[in-house]
Structure 1
Amino acid sequence: MVRGKHPITHDVYSRGEGKLLVLIQELPGIGQETLALADQFVNRGYKVILPHLFGPLGKTSVLGNTVRILCMRKEFKIFSTQQSSPIVDWLKTLCRKVKDDHQVKGVAVIGMCLTGNFAISLMADEAVLASYSSQPSLPVFKQKSLHLSDTEVEKIKTRLDEFGPMHCARFAKDPLCRASKFDSYERTFNEDKERIVFHTLPGKGHSIVTLDFVDEAGHPTKKVLDEVMDYFDRSLNT
């Protein structure tokens, strides 16, 4: 897929049929755990759209992908505050294309870790009806700052007022997504009403629905995923 006057291209994969979910990879890549997450949604009646933004397919590569991201500064502004990364514009274009191609009201979105913030940003777009931000970690080294512009914040608030609160989760002892990060989102979005439902899971894990996911009834990660799935079902069935 290509965007803008200066083309940025990324492959886009899909699997399944049904309601539409754009699943944005996290820093480790589109590994087996991410594919397993996609399959859970496929089994629930979703078509999962997987944009391949960086890294090898089918396996994880944290160090290698960190180097790749640092070299992709035109798309990922991982240290920036008060603005989203340019890749968000490409992802908006993708969501709109998926919506139009399938002639539906809109799509759901999941972003994780490096891309967790993007799931919040995308809620500003008319093509996105529901969103889950898992352990949002940007901007790097600035836990009390937001990777969002003031204009984006107002658009997101307006759409959440219309469609209901989105979901966001972190582990309590996650050093990459600390309590101060959630505090900043709480002050920004929930000052007068609940626009984001926050989940704080016990422990020191990081990747809630992939690398640290435990597919056992009653486990905190399973509870969060089940709640997000129910939320997506309600939002996309309206």
Structure 2
Amino acid sequence: MPRPLDQDDPLDDFDRRHLGFDGITKTVYTAGCGPGVVVMTEMPGISPQVARFARWVRDAGFTVYMPSLFGRDGAVPQAEEGAAIFKRACVSAEFRALAANESSPVTQWLRALAKQAHSECGGPGVGAIGMCFTGNFALTMMLERSVLAPVLSQPTLPLKDPAGVEISPADLAAVRERLDREDLSVLAYRFEGDPYCRAERFAAYRAALGPRFVARVLPDSAANPDTAPFFRQFVAHPHSVVTAHLIDEAGQPTLQARDEILDFFRQRLVP
């Protein structure tokens, strides 16, 4: 049965694990079987909509690894609480929220998580999807060789440079070299009028990665207008392609984007 999206989600169908790498321990919610996929939450945390997407990945035949990176796990995004979480993340040493051409330190931990997921689940490798604040992390995670299927959903960082990319030049060059060498690609999604993930950012990715960067731009009319308080107050425009602004109805562009992502994971990860 579908879970209500307007109530806090207990996440009781996930295993709650505490995984530590390089002296840093985080809570990771896991579920399913099959090749591993790391699902990184959007701001302000693992909402019912983010958990719904993770369940779709699980039900498609994958093992989901959903790390708690910020916020209150399973909570409906409230306005004041979400704003406070956003402000703390912007000044956290784990993230490079403002400056372009830098890789967030948390991506090293995420790369270790991907490596562990591959060792536990087997198969050719793992997938990874970042959303909003974590949108670019799946790209940097490709420095871990087990990551074969990266998805960037409305990558928002750096906040102060619409044409900037949240990855160091050296890391970006290494990723491009790997994409070419292994014949891999990167899927990316945004809404046409999203002021947090603008056309300039996708143009910068395209310039750096060439045809390996596969962009999908959805019309603003495809976004669900019925969102949680945090989004109504602070993100009052189409933004979250496969979570807050997804319309769960056949034929909807956002649902088609979800299906394309699941197919991408199957093509890359299922032997």
TM-score, normalized by the shorter chain, greater than 0.5: yes
What residue ranges of structure 2 are gaps of 5+ in the alignment? 1-18, 221-236
CA contact (8 A) 1:135 1:206 kept: yes
Alignment deviations for residues 117-137 of structure 1 (CA, whole Å, 9 cap, x no partner): 101111232020101100001
Question: Could you tell me which of 146, 149, 153 is aligned with 1:130?
Answer: 149
Match of 1:93 in 2: 112
| Contact 1:123–1:156, Cα closer than 8 Å, also in 2 | yes
Task: Determine whether 1:213 maps to 2:233.
Answer: no
Partner of 2:137: 118
Give 1:168-207 correspondences, 5 Å limit.
168-190=188-210, 194-203=211-220, 204-207=237-240
Q: Distance in 2 between matches of 1:163 and 1:57?
A: 36
Residue 10 of structure 1 aligns to a residue in which SS?
A: strand
**What letter is aligned with 1:195?**
R
Counterpart residue identity of residue 238, structure 2: G
**Identity rate, percent:** 35
The answer on whether the counterparts of 2:90 and 2:98 sit within 8 Å (CA) in structure 1 is no
The answer as to whether partners of 1:82 and 1:150 remain within 8 angstroms in 2 is: yes
Deviation for aligned residue 1:151 = 1.5
Q: Distance in 1 between matches of 2:117 and 2:55?
A: 19
SS in structure 2 of the partner of residue 131 of structure 1: strand
**Unpaired runs of 5+ in structure 1?**
none
Deviation at 1:69, TM superposition (A): 0.6
Asked if 2 retains the 8 angstrom alpha-carbon contact of 1:55 and 1:64, the reply is: no
In 2, the alpha carbon distance for the partners of 1:47 and 1:228 equals 15
Give yes or no for contact 1:137–1:176 (8 Å, CA) kept in 2. yes
Matched to 2:253, the amino acid is P
With normalisation by structure 1, the TM-score equals 0.93
Change (3 A) 1:71 1:82: closer
Match of 1:40 in 2: 56
* The 10-residue stretch of structure 1 (39-48 or 173-182) with the greater mean CA deviation from structure 2: 39-48
Alignment partners' CA distance in 1, 2:265 and 2:133: 22
Kindly state the Cα deviation for residue 228 of structure 1 after the two structures are TM-superposed.
1.2
Assess if the C-alpha contact under 8 Å between 2:34 and 2:63 holds in 1: yes
SS at match of 2:175: helix
RMSD: 1.4
What count of residue pairs does the alignment treat as equivalent?
232
Name the structure 2 match of 1:63. Answer: 83
Contact 2:126/2:146, CA 8 A, preserved across alignment: yes
Q: Which moved more, 1:133-142 or 1:97-106?
A: 97-106
**1:158 aligns with one of 177, 182, 190:** 177
State the Cα distance separating 1:71 from its structure 2 match.
Answer: 4.4
**Contact map agreement 2:103 2:140 (CA 8 A) in 1:** yes
Measure the CA separation in 2 of the matches of 1:18 and 1:62: 33
Distance 1:126 1:99 in 2: 10
Code of the residue aligned with 1:121 in structure 2: it is: T
Q: Which runs of 4 or more aligned residues in structure 1 lie more than 2 Å from their structure 2 counterparts after TM superposition?
A: 1-4, 101-105
Q: What does residue 12 of structure 2 align with?
A: none
2: CA distance between counterparts of 1:103 and 1:231?
18
Contact kept, 8 Å, 1:55 with 1:68, in 2: the verdict is no
Equivalent residue of 2:31, what SS?
Answer: strand
